[in-house]
Structure 1
Amino acid sequence: MKKLSVKLGILFFFIIFGLVTFMFFFLHNGITQSRVEEELTSLQSRGNSHRDILEKHFDQDTIAHVVLMESEAETDVVITNQDGQILNSSAPAEAFVKYLKGPLPSIPSEGRVIEGHWEDEPYISTVSPVEKDGQLVGLVYMFQDTASIHSMMKRLNEHFAISGWISVIFTIVIIIFLSKGITKPLLKMKAATREISKGNYSVSLPDTYDDEMGELAESIETLARDLQYLTKQRNEFLASISHELRTPLTYIKGYADILRKQDLPKEETEKYLTIIVDEANRLTQLVKELFELAKLDQNQFAIVKEKVDLHPFFEKIKQRLLPIFQESKIEFTVSCPPNLYVMADPLRLEQILFNLLDNAKKYSPNNGAVVLKALKHKNEVHIVVQDHGKGIPEKDLPLIFNRFYRVDKARTRSLGGSGLGLAIVKELVHAHGADITVSSTENAGTCFEIIFKGEVR
């Protein structure tokens, strides 16, 4: 019993069978009681009709006439005087004696039922009082054989049994189709997830369900697309790491071999050692950035926010970076109004800006310009890093924050970088609860904008 369709079928069967059984039982009891009450009411009405006749003429001829009428009917009548002595009956009175014995409680004028237990007794019975001038002069007992009621109930039970079996058969058929209808899309989803587990992410599920099933199918397809994207990203990531690690290691090993095997002039030795040191530094920086990304991915990167006054903070950055920009003959300007604050980790905010400004410097031509500015817009603080360099093609803009992504596909070493800087920037900005956007025009420049939401006073 491992199949879901079987489990659902059994569950539905017991639920529906239980409901149908309860309804049948309730209906059977209702019909039974109704039919018995109808028989008793009819018997009582017949007795009251005879009583009405006898109240007009309570004599032997009238009594004999009433008994004669009942002798041809399915019911029987016993007429007694006020003391319970039998005056006449439509059948031998011995069968009715036990119902006539004992004092009767006060009988209302409309009569009463004296025996209604049709299941255990051979007769059901009613009694109607015969009165003259307000005095009780006789009693009319009406009897009906319960065999007819038992026969009627037997036919009723047969009908219910047939209806019950038909209901069970229809229930089983409906449950089979219902359980298969429910589990069919689940089986398709199971097959799709099995394909995904094998690495086949090109799964497609029919979009025919406008309910939770449809949402689940859509979620599985989304999961497949995301896994396909992540697998592609992982492969590209591993290829990029291999490339980034292999390049400096190749330089270090190659020049180290040259220095070890050849007796070179001091000038060339210094040159090769400088290359080895530069590549080792590049390798160290790459490993450092990879560790930072790993910490960010695992939420192990601590962001200690405090109230930062951007005006002196920007001035500090300008003092540190201005000589570097001047060396590259690039104009570097800073603009920030006084008393403009953000809640941020100063060290991480500095790291973000250094990364963006370093990129701006690399891609700006000589005699170019780079601007760092901050401004307030409604309840937001915007920090802008803008250059007038070579710009970024529009097709590359959505991808520049991906790890190891470079606009320069040739990976020229003159521009340096590992392709991890902007990925780290994005993670750090989001860790602050801020957003970062980029806009660029080729050969006109690029603008990065960091948006801190919520005014800080």
Structure 2
Amino acid sequence: MTKLSAKIWIFVLATMAVTILFMYSMTNYLYENLYVKDTEDSMIEVGSKLAQMYKGGKVTDGFVNDIDRYNMYSNSNVFAVRNPRELSACVPFDIDYDTLIGPEERQSLIKGEVLAKKGYESRFDRQVISVVIPLVDEQRLEGILYLYFPLEKITELASKDVVMMIVAALIFLILIGFVIFKAIALLLKPLKQLKAAAMDMAAGQYATRVDIKSKDEIGQLATTFNEMAQAIEDEDQRQKQFLENVSHELRTPISYIKGYSEAILSGIIKEEEQPEKLALIVREAARMEKLTNELMQLSRPAGPQGVLKLYPLPLSETIREVVVMLSQRATEAEISIQLHLDDEAVIMADELKMKQIMINLLENALRYSDEGTVIDVSSSIHGEEVVVQIVDHGIGIPSEDLPKVTERFYRVNKARSRADGGSGLGLSIVAQLVQAHDGRWTIDSELNLGTTITLYFPIVEEIE
């Protein structure tokens, strides 16, 4: 039995115990306040009406005989006596007269008050309720009417066959216990499935799913579990692919560096050819360093942005500095960069990260544009946003590749080498950095016509 099922059983048993206790208390309450009280009120009513037959003076034998005749047809026993001690000849049990009518009780009777008492009587083996009605004339107690009635027990009121009642109760408890057991097992079944699935997930079986079709909270939990399992499986696949891509990216430069280094050391490469090979080794080492830095950025817990230092930044000035940095590369590629910037555009940004965004985007534009083309870079204010556009007239991106360009190590142009095609991490870093600046971006492209990248950042309003 699991801990949860034990808790449910304890709850059910506690509920049943409270129910039984409540029913017992309610039964006693009804017994005392309905049956006993009703019997007492009925006896007082009958006794009060019989007392009206008394006309004063001494209690006559005729009055006593009339009461005796009524007693023959009454549910309760009623007697008329001149002295309470005469009751011993009338009732089949002993009476403590001092307790029944003591000094205080006598004064109450003289005032016309009715006495009602209840006590256990061994002669009847049950509680007996008695009522004393005074017969008073001129402040003198001439006699009393004494009524008594042996009360039935609760079990006698409930049923004459207590054994059958107990047997029926036991059968009911057994049946209800069996039903509860089955119900608990049915309720816990999906939870057991979830537990088994979670254990499989912990063991690395990320394809595990649970088949629970209910619409209740457990069904919702199962749906959430399946969605989580799908996300974990997808992330596991992405990580495996990521590691494969990293290994693939590093294998080529490592092989170049290792091969040419060994060749130089062994003397296979002639001395006049060594500078060229050393330059290749330096280039491949630089590629490894760049790739390593990009991977470190993407692997940080806070994302590639790390901890941003945001402050009002004149975006046009930042863009101009990046263009100056890339001007030599643009000249070598025979590509011109034209600027159309709004100097009033100010955003909250980290200057180094914003430069990284622009460098990555402009490097891509330079890398995939043909000689003699132009790259247009513009910034403008539209409402509450600063809009930056980078438009190239290069090879473009096929429509089927557009949704994937921000995936790590994804390359659109498979024909290009890794040396001139980049690492495939640049746009992934751009996407996360733009999001870190509360910005957004879009990519529109047509094959062989060019690509337009549009960035949107919240503007900083001027403070007067």
TM-score of Structure 1 vs Structure 2, range by shorter chain: 0.7 to 0.9
Q: CA 1:151 to 1:63, structure 2 compared with 1: closer, same or farther past 3 Å?
A: farther
Residue 129 of structure 1: which of 130, 134, 156 is its match? 134
Question: Gaps (5+ residues) in structure 1?
Answer: none
Write the distance in 2 (CA, Å) between the matches of 1:100 and 1:304: 97
Q: Tell whether 2:142 aligns with 1:140.
A: no
1:305-333 Cα shifts (integer Å, max 9, x gaps): 11101222222233333343233222312
Write the distance in 2 (CA, Å) between the matches of 1:240 and 1:54: 117
Q: Quote the offset at 1:160 in angstroms.
A: 7.2
1:75-94 Cα shifts (integer Å, max 9, x gaps): 3223244x757499754685
Question: Gaps (5+ residues) in structure 2?
Answer: none
Q: Quote the offset at 1:347 in angstroms.
A: 1.0
Write the distance in 1 (CA, Å) between the matches of 2:384 and 2:190: 49
Q: Is the 8 A contact 1:393 1:440 kept in 2?
A: yes
Q: CA 1:311 to 1:218, structure 2 compared with 1: closer, same or farther past 3 Å?
A: same
Letter in 2 for 1:269: Q
Write the distance in 2 (CA, Å) between the matches of 1:123 and 1:379: 93
Larger mean Cα displacement after TM superposition, 92-101 or 39-48:
92-101
Write the distance in 1 (CA, Å) between the matches of 2:172 and 2:409: 67
Residue aligning to 1:45: 45
> Helix, strand or coil: the match of 1:188?
helix
1:176-211 Cα shifts (integer Å, max 9, x gaps): 133223211111112222332333333333352323
User: Does 1 or 2 have the higher relative contact order (CA < 8 Å, sep 6+)?
Assistant: 1
> Helix, strand or coil: the match of 1:395?
coil
Letter in 2 for 1:38: D
Write the distance in 2 (CA, Å) between the matches of 1:410 and 1:183: 57
> Helix, strand or coil: the match of 1:221?
helix
Larger mean Cα displacement after TM superposition, 175-184 or 276-285:
175-184
Q: CA 1:119 to 1:360, structure 2 compared with 1: closer, same or farther past 3 Å?
A: farther
Q: CA 1:99 to 1:5, structure 2 compared with 1: closer, same or farther past 3 Å?
A: same
Q: CA 1:49 to 1:89, structure 2 compared with 1: closer, same or farther past 3 Å?
A: farther
Residue aligning to 2:116: 114
Write the distance in 2 (CA, Å) between the matches of 1:298 and 1:43: 90
Write the distance in 2 (CA, Å) between the matches of 1:173 and 1:151: 28
Q: Is the 8 A contact 2:67 2:79 kept in 1?
A: no
Write the distance in 1 (CA, Å) between the matches of 2:288 and 2:95: 116
Write the distance in 1 (CA, Å) between the matches of 2:174 and 2:319: 82
Write the distance in 2 (CA, Å) between the matches of 1:361 and 1:394: 20
Q: Tell whether 2:69 aligns with 1:68.
A: yes
Q: Quote the offset at 1:298 in angstroms.
A: 6.8
Residue aligning to 1:408: 413
Write the distance in 2 (CA, Å) between the matches of 1:151 and 1:211: 45
Residue aligning to 2:180: 175
Q: CA 1:358 to 1:125, structure 2 compared with 1: closer, same or farther past 3 Å?
A: same
Write the distance in 1 (CA, Å) between the matches of 2:155 and 2:18: 28
Q: CA 1:251 to 1:291, structure 2 compared with 1: closer, same or farther past 3 Å?
A: same
Residue 380 of structure 2: which of 375, 379, 388 is its match? 375
Q: Quote the offset at 1:343 in angstroms.
A: 0.8
Q: CA 1:84 to 1:134, structure 2 compared with 1: closer, same or farther past 3 Å?
A: same
Q: Is the 8 A contact 1:48 1:111 kept in 2?
A: no
Write the distance in 2 (CA, Å) between the matches of 1:202 and 1:99: 87
> Helix, strand or coil: the match of 2:245?
helix
Write the distance in 1 (CA, Å) between the matches of 2:389 and 2:3: 58
Q: Is the 8 A contact 1:375 1:383 kept in 2?
A: yes
Write the distance in 2 (CA, Å) between the matches of 1:334 and 1:359: 17
Q: Give the aligned CA root-mean-square deviation in angstroms.
A: 3.3
Write the distance in 2 (CA, Å) between the matches of 1:156 and 1:339: 100
Q: CA 1:260 to 1:197, structure 2 compared with 1: closer, same or farther past 3 Å?
A: same
Residue aligning to 1:192: 197
Residue aligning to 1:389: 394
Write the distance in 1 (CA, Å) between the matches of 2:77 and 2:294: 108
1:85-137 Cα shifts (integer Å, max 9, x gaps): 74997546854745643232435999634213458975311122345699865
Give the count of matched residue pairs: 454
5 Å-filtered alignment, 1:280-295, equals 280-295=285-300
Letter in 1 for 2:355: E
Write the distance in 2 (CA, Å) between the matches of 1:373 and 1:268: 46
Q: Tell whether 2:313 aligns with 1:308.
A: yes
Residue aligning to 1:59: 60
Letter in 1 for 2:281: I
Q: Is the 8 A contact 1:438 1:449 kept in 2?
A: yes
Q: Quote the offset at 1:350 in angstroms.
A: 0.4
Q: CA 1:430 to 1:65, structure 2 compared with 1: closer, same or farther past 3 Å?
A: same
> Helix, strand or coil: the match of 1:364?
coil
1:337-359 Cα shifts (integer Å, max 9, x gaps): 12211111111110111011100
Q: Quote the offset at 1:248 in angstroms.
A: 0.5
Residue aligning to 2:16: 17
Write the distance in 2 (CA, Å) between the matches of 1:16 and 1:107: 50
Q: CA 1:374 to 1:31, structure 2 compared with 1: closer, same or farther past 3 Å?
A: same
Write the distance in 1 (CA, Å) between the matches of 2:362 and 2:155: 101
TM-score norm. by structure 1 comes to 0.87
Residue 209 of structure 2: which of 204, 210, 213 is its match? 204
Q: CA 1:92 to 1:98, structure 2 compared with 1: closer, same or farther past 3 Å?
A: farther
Letter in 2 for 1:425: V
Write the distance in 2 (CA, Å) between the matches of 1:411 and 1:198: 41
Q: CA 1:361 to 1:107, structure 2 compared with 1: closer, same or farther past 3 Å?
A: farther
Q: CA 1:153 to 1:317, structure 2 compared with 1: closer, same or farther past 3 Å?
A: same
Residue 321 of structure 1: which of 312, 323, 326 is its match? 326
Larger mean Cα displacement after TM superposition, 411-420 or 33-42:
411-420
Larger mean Cα displacement after TM superposition, 404-413 or 417-426:
404-413
Q: Is the 8 A contact 1:9 1:176 kept in 2?
A: no
